[in-house]
Structure 1
Amino acid sequence: MINNLLKKDVLTIFLLLSTVLILTLFIKAPYEIAYIIPAIPFALLLLNNISKKKFFVVFCVLLLLNSVVSLFSLDNPCNISENGRVIEDGKYKNTLLVQSQKIVDANIRDSVIITSEYLPSVCYLYETSAKNRSLIGMVGFNYFEIKEHLNSQKNVKYVYLAPLDKIRELHNEGYKLYYAGNWAFRMTKCIYRYNLSNYNCYNAFLLKIISYSLLNQKDN
């Protein structure tokens, strides 16, 4: 196989070097497995050049099936197969939407909910129910900006994240403060370096204001 590879054209050598370079960089800094994705097109073209067509077709079919069915998961070694990434991602987004609707429907007033990842879907669902076409109050889309949306009917603010001075300001204005799940708690601690529970801010899901069933990977 090596001899065949050396006899190939410049394109094959380029594809090989590109694949090796990306994998080498990943080994040097293995932060996220997704960083290997850029190597996939180079590796596929390389495989097409150096292997038999039948093998290449079978490999591509298996690659596509992996999106639907995953074999021998590292998370659940006892399971021979489980849902692939596409199906799991679909389930996660559906759960996120259901939880966002519960945030919108929560029976609270004069409060602020730190929503983190829920904010875009919460804004959309609220404005859809209010029959408003514009997302009034949505500002910015950067982790370090204050992003919030106002439910004017209940005087409830949905905030993506908030620095400590914003939390103190909301307390002074008389708002009750909640955060939607452990992900919002952890994001706040990671980005703004303070603990929400130290400032009378409570997990809305644990208080059963909103029922909680988000996928385990966010809270485990």
Structure 2
Amino acid sequence: MKPVAVIVPTFLCLIPSAALAGVILSEDVSVSQRDPLTNRHVHESLLDSMDLLSLSPSARFLAMPRPMITPELARALESGRIHTPDAEWKRIISKAARIHGLPEALIASVIHTESSFQARAESPKGAQGAMQIMPQTQKELGLTDPFDAEANVLAGCAYLRRQLDRFGSLELALAAYNAGPANVKKYGGIPPFPETRDYVARVTSRLGMNGRHQGNDH
């Protein structure tokens, strides 16, 4: 069999790597080879033979048929901010609520407060993903890909459920989620950290609660 010739526009070599995502979206990725049965050249899209399930989230988007790639998604890819559709967030939140016995509104409020529904969010302190889970906590929860929206939310909800069961109070559970259960135990309540107090207030405010509801009130 003769070597496969990969057809790549020559100007791609002159473009910085950071700009490649947008260019790839508008170019065919294909191969041209001679069919040994017909002795004719065959032009085949590489996407047809890809194992898309083995690709990273960004690569999966790049492999989508071009009509499915919106300008907003292209900009998100170029900026590193991967857009997760609203319908997908609803599905993930509903699944996490069923598994961990949490109100969907609570999960949505925590995600909104933590990352504004950005699955690839990273904080200066190292927290990652939609529910901003620290690397050490990721290990405890068995979370291997913090930027997978569903895996992150399921892990974050497991941790939040653990705090609700431990402290029996929504406010204390949220404080433990933000500042760590050790600090809640140390101070006998919400730690006197401005960030933590503001966090609890913002989450409960989005829920329309006064902060006194118990964790098992759905």
How high is the TM-score relative to the length of structure 2? 0.27
Higher relative CO (CA 8 A, sep ≥ 6), structure 1 or 2?
1
- Flag the structure with higher strand content: 1
How high is the TM-score relative to the length of structure 1? 0.27
